[in-house]
Amino acid sequence: MNDENKIIVALDLNDITRAKYIVNLIKYDVIYKVGMEFFYSFGMEGISELKKIKPEIKIFLDLKLHDIPNTVSKSIEPLVLKVRPYMLTLHTSGGNIMLKEAVSKVDKICKVGNFKKPILLGVTILTSLKKEDLVSIDWGNDISKVVIKLASLAKISGLDGIVCSAKEIKDIRKNFNNLKIVAPGIRFKQDNKEDQVRVMSPEAAVKAGADFIVIGRPILNAKDPNLILRKILNSFNS
């Protein structure tokens, strides 16, 4: 995997014209995150529009699937068949059975269809949450401990990796060296954190052990997204 593939550009937009403009403008081989805002606004058709611009586009389908096992298993099938995502998220708090059945369904679909299986990722604790939020839902006040527990659940359920704040990466690497780690909440030091709480710079997150970093607003709001991406790529080797 080259350094460009470590960067996930979050297309958190409800403007399809702007999303297409960004995808067309970016010259690097990055991954594009399609989350709830984009998918609920434009659905499969929106992704098809992106694929017209870049037929080999790598889609990180971040819908954080979370429901009873049967519903998730049935819902994941059309997503995998129609989107052919490079990566896909499920909420680890859905539990072992939900996760295992989703993994089994994806394995079967890809085997029958003879196409590459997406990287399946378990979402742990959102980067917008802080200790007080965990206490309010009776999960204790140690974020790292909860993330490690959910990472363990992801591993035994057969997922390929997890999504967690860069702040927890070192603890995860000590316990699960072979899990892929996607780190959202990436900001440059001068950036406004906005609704993100547990953030880290791109180079610090990669040095800590992140396999992929998710960056949205600092790129989407930039006058020259390619300049920002070049800055990030250069920072990996600084």
Enzyme catalytic residues: 64
Secondary structure, 3-state, the chain = CCHHHHEEEECCCCCHHHHHHHHHHCCCCCEEEEEHHHHHHHHHHHHHHHHHHCCCCEEEEEEEECCCHHHHHHHHHHHHHHHCCCEEEEEHHHCHHHHHHHHHHHHHHHHHHCCCCCEEEEECCCCCCCHHHHHHCCCCCCHHHHHHHHHHHHHHCCCCEEECCHHHHHHHHHHCCCCEEEECCECCCCCCCCCCCCCECHHHHHHHCCCEEEECHHHHCCCCHHHHHHHHHHHHCC
Indicate the burial class of 177 (C-beta count within 10 angstroms; 0-12, 13-18, 19 or more).
exposed
Amino acid (1-letter code) at residue 181: I
C-alpha gyration radius of the chain: 17
Instruction: Give CA torsion, residues 234, 199, 61, 26, to 10 deg.
Output: -30
